[in-house]
Structure 1
Amino acid sequence: MRYMATYDLMETMRNTNQWLGASAKAFASYPGLALSPNPMVQWVAAWGEVTERSFARMVAKPDWGIHSIPSEDGRDHIVSVEPVVERPFGDLIRFHVQGRPEKKRKVMLVAPMSGHYATLLRSTVASLLPDAEVYITDWHNARDIPVSAGKFDIEDYTLYLVDFMRELGPDTNVIAVCQPAPLALAATAYLAAEDPKAQPRTLTLIGGPIDPDAAATDVTDFGRRITMGQLEETAIQRVGFKYKGVGRMVYPGLLQLASFMSMNGERHSKAFQDQILRVTKGEAADHDPHNRFYDEYLAVMDMTAEFYLSTVERIFKGGEIARNAFVVNGKKVDISAITSVAVKTVEGSKDDISAPGQCVAALDLLTGLPDSKKASHLEQGAGHYGIFAGKSWRNNIRPLVLDFIDANAEQPKKAAPEKAKSNVTPIKAELAPEKKAPAKAKPKTTAKSQGKSKPRNTGKSA
C-alpha cells in the first residue's frame, strides 16, 4: 500500500465519482427532458446533486462560518480569525470579537488530529465565544506539507502544545478534546518541570484516552489485535503528485473516511438514500441537518505516518501516558510534577470511542496535585460527540467547565487542605481565609502589617 500509485488511485476514484454526480445532475436537468414527466429523471438529478456534493467535500477544508456573535451590549460583533503562532504542521489561531471588551477568561482549545479538521469543534468555539477569549490549534493537512518540513510525531505534537501554552501565558485555560487529551496532559507536565511559570491555570480533558485499557472499546480492541507491521502495510501511503507533500508518508484521509463509514455502514447508507428522496421532492436545503453534518464529517485530512503510528504504538499499545513513562525530546515527562494546575475530566456514559474510565484515569496520575484541584464529571446518556459539541455540552457540560475555570481563576493565599473525598467527584478549590490582625493592633499598624505579608504565588510570571 505504501506507493504513490495507491494514493493516486483513491484520489482518481473520488474525482470520478464527483464527475459522475455532476454529469448526472447536468444531464437530468436538460430542459428537453421536462417534456416527459418521468420521476426517474428527478431522481437521477437528485442522485447527481447529492453525489457531487459528497465527494467534493472530501478534499475541501470547511470554513469556520462564525461571522458574528451577540454581545451584552445588545449588538452583534464581527468575529475575525487571526493567526497567533504559525508553524508548518499547525497554527494557533484566535477568534477575535471586534469592538468587545476583552473577556477575563482565556481558553485554548486543543483540537484532535484524528482525520478531521479543527472545524469539527466549530459549535464548541461558538458556544464559548460569548463568555471567553477563544484560541484553537488549527492542524494542517499533511498532504499539503512538503517533505522538506521534516517529521511530525506525538513528541512534536506535544512540543507544539508547549510552545502554544508559553505564547498565551499562565492565565490560560486549556480544554483538550478527545485524541489530544493525553498529549495535553504531557505538555502541561513538561512545562511543570521545565518552565513552571508558563503552566496554564486549568486543564480540562474531554473524552480522551489517558488509559485506553481502563475500558475496552472497538478502537482499543483494534489496537491490540493488529501488529505495527500490519498497520504500516495496510494504512500508510505516499502522497501523490497532485499535492505539495508529494512523497510524504501519510495515513490518507480517504482511507480514514472509509474506516469511519464502515463502522456504521447501514446507518450512513440510509441517511444518503433519505437525502436523495428529499432532494427529489424539493424538501432539501443547502444547510439542512444532513448537509450540515456530512459537510463536516466527509471533510477529511491526511495525518503524517509517524504521528499515526506513534500514537497507536505509544499511547494505545504501550500505554506510556497511563504508565507515566512518556518521553519527549529525550526527557521523561513526570505527570506528578503538576502541582498547581487545576485538572477536570469529562466523560460520556455512552461514549463508544473513549469509554468512561479512560479519561478520569488522569486524576490518579496527578499524585502531586491536591484533591481540591481535581474534578470529574460523567454525563449520563451522552455519546462521544455530545460531550463536546452536542446538546449535552451546551446544556450541562459547558456551564460546569466555565464554573471550574472561574473557581480557579485566582490562586488561594494558602493551599486548601486536601479532602479525603474520592478524586472522581467534582471538587472546587476553596479560598483559604486570611489571618486576622491581632486584637491589640492599631488600625494603622494593621494595614502596615498586612502590606508586609508575604505575597501569594499567583502562578503568573513576573
Structure 2
Amino acid sequence: MIYDAYQNYANLSHSVRVLASSSERILSLWSAMQFASPLRRMAAYYELVALAGFTHTRPDYGIAEIATDSDETVSVKQSEILSTPFCTLLHFAREGGENDPRVLLVAPMSGHFATLLRGTIRSLLRHHQVYVTDWRNTRDVPLSQGSFGFADFIQHLIDFIKAIGPQSHVVAVCQPAVAALSATAILAQDNDPNQPASLTLMAGPIDTRISPTKVNELATSRPLNWFKEKLIGVVPHSLGGAGRHVYPGFLQLAAFMSMNIDRHSKAFVDLFKSRVEGDFEKANQIRTFYEEYFAIMDLDATFFLETVETVFQKHALPEGKLLIQETLVEPRAIKKTFLMTIEGEKDDICSVGQTLAAHDLCTGLRPYMKAHHLQAEVGHYGVFSGRRWDKQIYPILRDHIYSST
C-alpha cells in the first residue's frame, strides 16, 4: 500500500515539477536582463520546486574525459564487461592508460546509484583502469529473475574479480565492505589464482559493535520482523518489477535525510540565496549534489533484510559465523592480498574503528601487508568524495595500490 500511495503521488507531482522546471529556465533568461532582475527570486523559487522530487533512473556518469596530472585532457572510454539481471560491470579506461592497474570499485547497494561515486571514479582514472559495479534499480527487474540476497552480492563480486583477472585491486565503499572482504576470503580459501593484489575498505561496517552510530542502534533496537512489516513494500503493477518485495529508495533517503535534516534544510536555503545573489557557482554545486542525491533505487527485500540480520544484528563476520552457501567465511585465510582500511574522523554512519576491525580478522596477513588511514575533518561522504578525498586520501590509496602491484 505504501508504495502504491507514493507512486500515485510521484506521478501527480511530476507534472508540477516539469512545469516549475520550464518556468525556472524561462525566468532565469529574463532575470539576466537588467530591467528584470526581480524575476531572479521567482526563478530561484521555481528551481527549488523543480528540484524537490525523486527520480528512479540512473543518471549518466558523464565521464567522457579527464585531466591528467600534467593538466592534459584525455578521453575516457566506457564499456560493459559483464551483465546480470541485477548489475552491470562497467569498465572506464583513459586514453593511454591501457597498462594501468585494474581496480574494481564496489559501489554501495544502499539507495543510490553507482553514479554517486562519479568523483571517486574520476580520481582513480588518473592512474588506474576502473571497473564499477553498476547496480540496477530492483524495481525495474522482473520478478521472474528471482530474488537477490546477501550471498548473491558476494557471488557477483567473486565473478567480477575473476572476470577482471589476476592482480586486480578491489576498493569497496561503505556498505559492501563486508561483502568485499568475504569475497576475498572465499577466493583465498579456494586458493584461486584471481585473488586480488590489494583490498581497500572505505568507511564500511565490518564490526558495528564498535562505537555504534544511530544507524547501528536502529538496526539492533527492533526485531527483524519489524523491518519486514514497516519498511518493505511491493513494486506497483505499472513498473517492470511488479510484485517484487523491496525496501523502497524513497524510504531509505527519508531515513538518511532525517539524520541531518538541519543541514539539508540549510542547503536549500543556501541554494535560494546564492541564486538570488548571483553566486551561480555555489548554487550550481548545491543543485548538482541534490540532483544526484535524489536519484534513488530500491533494494530487493531479501538483500536488505539479510544485510540487517547478518551485518548489524548477528555481526556474523566478526563473530566468525558467516556462512555463504554452506561455506564458512574465514578472513584469516587471506595471505596474498594487501589490506588497507580508510575511515573518516566525523563519520556518523560508520564510526571510527568499525572498518579498522578488518585488521583483527585478517590474522593471516603479515603486519607490513596491512595499512590504515584515518582522515581528519571528514564525514561519511568525505571519505570518497570532495576535496579532501581527492587531495589527501586518494594519493594514499594510489600508493597502496601501486606498492602491492
Common fold, TM-score beyond 0.5?
A: yes
Q: Match of 2:167? A: 171
Report which stretch shifted further, 64-73 or 174-183: 64-73
Q: Match of 1:63? A: 60
Identity among equivalent positions (%) equals: 39
Q: Match of 2:139? A: 143
| Conservation of the 8 A alpha-carbon contact between 1:17 and 1:52 | no
| Conservation of the 8 A alpha-carbon contact between 2:93 and 2:125 | no
Among 23, 44, 47, the residue aligned to 2:45: 47
Which amino acid in 2 is paired with 1:92? Answer: L
Task: Determine if the alignment matches structure 1 residue 366 to structure 2 residue 366.
Answer: no
Deviation at 1:17, TM superposition (A): 2.9
Please give the secondary structure, in 1, of the residue aligned with 2:349: coil
Task: Determine if the alignment matches structure 1 residue 89 to structure 2 residue 86.
Answer: yes
Q: Match of 2:15? A: 19
Cα 1:384–1:27 shift into 2, 3 Å? closer
Cα 1:26–1:201 shift into 2, 3 Å? closer
Deviation at 1:19, TM superposition (A): 2.4
1:94-143 C-alpha deviation (Å, 9 max, x unpaired): 00324x14233111111111111101111011011111111111100000
Which amino acid in 1 is paired with 2:90? Answer: I
Deviation at 1:75, TM superposition (A): 4.8
Among 217, 220, 225, the residue aligned to 2:221: 225
Cα 1:101–1:384 shift into 2, 3 Å? closer
Equivalent-residue separation in structure 2 for 1:26 and 1:330 (angstroms): 56
Equivalent-residue separation in structure 2 for 1:268 and 1:16 (angstroms): 24
Consecutive unaligned residues in structure 2, runs of 5 or more: none
Equivalent-residue separation in structure 1 for 2:224 and 2:128 (angstroms): 42
| Conservation of the 8 A alpha-carbon contact between 1:25 and 1:47 | no
Cα 1:279–1:225 shift into 2, 3 Å? same
Cα 1:38–1:226 shift into 2, 3 Å? farther
Among 191, 195, 218, the residue aligned to 1:199: 195
Equivalent-residue separation in structure 1 for 2:307 and 2:23 (angstroms): 47
Cα 1:46–1:22 shift into 2, 3 Å? farther
Q: Match of 1:441? A: none
Give TM-score scaled by structure 1 length. Answer: 0.81
Consecutive unaligned residues in structure 1, runs of 5 or more: 410-462
Among 352, 357, 362, the residue aligned to 2:353: 357
Q: Match of 1:187? A: 183
Q: Match of 1:9? A: 5
Please give the secondary structure, in 1, of the residue aligned with 2:193: helix
RMSD of aligned alpha carbons: 2.4
Task: Determine if the alignment matches structure 1 residue 78 to structure 2 residue 75.
Answer: yes
| Conservation of the 8 A alpha-carbon contact between 1:110 and 1:175 | yes
Q: Match of 2:372? A: 376
User: Within 5 Å, which residues of 2 pair with 1:392-411?
Assistant: 392-409=388-405
Equivalent-residue separation in structure 1 for 2:214 and 2:248 (angstroms): 21
Give TM-score scaled by structure 2 length. Answer: 0.92
| Conservation of the 8 A alpha-carbon contact between 2:184 and 2:196 | yes
Cα 1:336–1:18 shift into 2, 3 Å? same
Q: Match of 1:276? A: 272
Equivalent-residue separation in structure 1 for 2:194 and 2:361 (angstroms): 21
| Conservation of the 8 A alpha-carbon contact between 2:68 and 2:126 | yes
Please give the secondary structure, in 2, of the residue aligned with 1:81: strand
Q: Match of 1:323? A: 319
Question: Who wins on radius of gyration, i.e. which is larger?
Answer: 1
Please give the secondary structure, in 1, of the residue aligned with 2:335: coil
| Conservation of the 8 A alpha-carbon contact between 1:22 and 1:49 | no
Q: Match of 2:247? A: 251
Deviation at 1:50, TM superposition (A): 2.2
| Conservation of the 8 A alpha-carbon contact between 2:270 and 2:283 | no
1:370-406 C-alpha deviation (Å, 9 max, x unpaired): 1121111111222111111122221221111111122
Equivalent-residue separation in structure 1 for 2:357 and 2:69 (angstroms): 39
